[in-house]
Structure formats: structure tokens, C-alpha cells
Amino acid sequence: MNKGELVDKVSEKASVTKKEADAIISAIIDSIVEAVADGQKVTLVGFGSFEPRSRAEREGRNPKTGDTMVIPASVVPAFSAGKLFKDRLKPEPEPVAAAPAKGKGKK
């Protein structure tokens, strides 16, 4: 699903115009990006959390030449899904087939 399809879905579910839905979605995304860029954690209960995570400096390899190189430390955005979100993704358990009956049979 891309942003346009998300706007269509939100406008339909929330009974707002597509223009209003686009403005709301854009405002939400901008607010989350700004907060995480400022070092804050954004938690949406049931959905998940966005937060900045620090990565230490580490050694890597240039895939083209195979030379060793140092990858500098950085801060990256991270998302952790909430419990309700994770629960929606769990596959339904498959029904267990009945075991063959034990008894006297041909030998």
C-alpha cells in the first residue's frame, strides 16, 4: 500500500475528504519524524513505538573490492510493533488431523 492508497482508505473509514485525510496523514508522519529526530520516543498504544537507536562504529567490507573499512557510528530510526499489532499478524493455527484409530488391523 502506498500513501495514495492509504489516503483513500483513511478518507473512506473516517468519512473525510481525500484532501483532509492527506493533510492528517502528512501531519502525523511529520510529527513522528520531528520527534524521533529530536531524540524522543513516540508510542502509539496498540500500534507500536518509533525511536532513535544508536549504532556503534563497526568494521565492514567494501562489497566491490573486499577491502576492510570502518563504518562510522550513527543514529537510525527504529520501529517496534505493539502487542495488538503483533497479535494481528500471527497465523491461525492449522487444525490437527485426527490420528488413525488404533485397533486390530490386517498384518
Helix residue ranges per DSSP H, 38-68: none
- pTM comes to 0.72
> Which residues, at least 6 apart from 62, have a Cβ–Cβ distance to it below 8 Å?
69
pLDDT, tens only, 37-72: 999 999 999 999 999 999 999 999 999 999 999 999
* Domains parsed from the chain with CATH numbers: 3-89 (4.10.520.10)
Euclidean distance between CA atoms 9 and 14, whole angstroms: 8
Strand partners, 53: 76
Mean pLDDT of 7-19: 96
